[in-house]
Structure 1
Amino acid sequence: MRAPISVVIPTLNAEQDLPGCLSALIEGLEAGLIRELIVTDGGSGDATLAIAAAAGARVVTGPAGVGGQLRRGVAVAEGDWLFMLLPECWLGAGWTVHAEAALATPAAYWSSIGVRGGGLVPRMVAQWVNMRSRISARPSARQGLLLPYPLYETVGGYADQPRVEDTQLLQRLRGHMRPLGAELTVTPEALRARG
């Protein structure tokens, strides 16, 4: 049986964060969960593309904009499941146990977030994001999104637009959202940059 998950990562000058994100995915390769890695780049001028190529990723390029980048990445995906991750979001150890359990129950799954380093304020923001996600089933893009490809198609996928493309998709997924149980970590800077 072929591995089920296509990991799709939108990048733009992500050379600082991408190696950590990719390292966390090794667990999924070893568990036989990851079929392919797709890096969809929006015009990086740093070493992002070289890092992606060295990791064996399929690289897709086009104009910058997370919605369009994710849409292009998903368009070439061959897996039965999609896992959208931002490069600054690193999966924690043991994430594959939760992913394997999720594959048995098709739905859209999000992860809680933690903060790598930083002080009290970033940790409080992460706790607020996690609480909001649990109460309202409204996760953010930085929490990752694991879902079966047919569900992605059913709700219309990502719009190719410059803003709130992830919010629109997540709204269309209401009623299908569940917590994954795994944790992603971000830096305080990434937490601030994403609002």
Structure 2
Amino acid sequence: MLHVIIPTLNAAPALSRLLPTLQQAPVSRIWVSDGGSADDTVAVAARHAARLLTGPAGRGPQLITGAEAALAAGADWLLFLHADSLLPVAWPALLTGHCRAFPDQAAAFALRFDDPHPLATVIATAATLRSRWLGLPWGDQGLLISAALYRAIGGYRPLPLMEDVDLVRRIGRRRLRILPAALTTGADRYRRDGWIRRPLKNAALLLRYALGTDPQTLAERYRR
């Protein structure tokens, strides 16, 4: 059984686009792990028969809450998605094929942004190449992982930032595939912060994390 886990915080418009696309095999159950939304996120989740989980805001803790619920309900595979994700058309076959052929490996998608800006393609291509070469996809590329592997590596940790990098580093490059199709993700932060400034800021945060900077310090910097 494949369960989808989506952390949310005031994500109603994006969630209303994503959830209808997941109402098909191989998805058995959808979990929306909400961090206290003040918009219509809860109503959108209910309208599309997603299981709602609530708790304090924070992507790491929200992902943990969703994963624990999915595992308790008997999930064999977990698919973690951001609310502003849109999967490629052929995603059911891609995921089913991966689960059958690579049961001991996790997988993430290549990346695409929902913006025609010329730098969007450059940045997305660079992110996909980083993922292939270093085994370091971001959370906005989705993550498909078996329940067995998730448990074996200890799952997500309750970090305020870099929870995605922390997890894929423990998976390791040899146990991580990049699927041959792109997931489309929202580009709001890039439009807000700039198509040059945002990726430079992300790269600086990743470098500081790799050098041992505390994730709480990085989270405070990320929000500025």
Scaled by the length of structure 1, the TM-score of the pair is 0.91
SS of 1:70 mapped into structure 2: helix
Cα deviation code 1:79-99 (max 9, x no counterpart): 100000001111010111111
Aligned residue identity for 1:24: T
CA distance in 1, matches of 2:37, 2:155: 24
Determine if the alignment matches structure 1 residue 70 to structure 2 residue 50.
no
* Structure 1, 172-181 or 143-152: larger mean CA deviation: 172-181
Distance 1:91 1:70, change over 3 A: same
Secondary structure (helix, strand or coil) at the match of 2:3 reads strand
- 2:8 is aligned to 11
Q: 2:38 aligns to what?
A: 45
Report how many aligned residue pairs link the two structures: 188
Q: Which structure dedicates a bigger proportion of its chain to helix?
A: 2
2:177 aligned partner: 178
Q: C-alpha separation between the residues in 2 aligned to 1:18 and 1:44? A: 12
Separation of aligned partners in 1, 2:154 and 2:190: 28
For 2:114 and 2:131, the matched residues in 1 are separated by 20
Q: Which has the higher contact order (CA 8 A, sep 6+)?
A: 1
Q: 1:99 to 1:42 in 2, by over 3 A?
A: same
How far the C-alpha of 1:192 sits from its partner, in A, is 5.9
The unaligned stretches of length 5 or more in structure 2 are: 193-197, 203-224
1:95-106 matched pairs, under 5 angstroms = 95-104=91-100, 105-106=102-103
Structure 1 residue 191: Cα displacement: 5.1
Question: TM-score, length-normalised on structure 2?
Answer: 0.80
Look up the SS of the partner of 1:76 in the other structure. helix
TM-superposed deviation, 1:180 = 2.1
Distance in 1 (alpha carbons) for counterparts of 2:79 and 2:55: 20
Q: Equivalent residue for 2:114?
A: 116
| Code of the aligned partner of 1:57 | A
Residue 126 to residue 191, structure 1, CA distance change in 2 (3 Å): farther
Partner of 2:78: 82
CA distance in 1, matches of 2:158, 2:28: 25
Deviations 1:82-123 (A, max 9, x none): 000001111010111111111112110000111223310122
Aligned 1:104-183 pairs, distance under 5 A: 104=100, 105-106=102-103, 107-174=105-172, 175-183=174-182
8 A contact 2:108–2:142 mirrored in 1: yes
Identity across matched positions, percent: 35
Other structure's SS at 1:159 match: coil
For residues 39 and 108 of structure 2, the distance between their equivalents in structure 1, rounded to whole angstroms, comes to: 30
Give the drift of 1:23.
2.7
Q: Deviations over 1:147-170 (max 9, x none)?
A: 100100100101112111111111
Q: Which amino acid counterpart does residue 2 of structure 2 have in structure 1?
A: I
2:18 pairs, out of 21, 34, 53, with 21
Residues 118 and 187 of structure 1 are in contact (CA less than 8 Å); yes or no, is this contact kept in structure 2? no
| Residue type of the alignment partner of 1:130 | T
C-alpha separation between the residues in 1 aligned to 2:190 and 2:110?
13
Q: Distance in 1 between matches of 2:34 and 2:41?
A: 8
The corresponding residue for 2:206 is none
Residue aligning to 1:188? 187
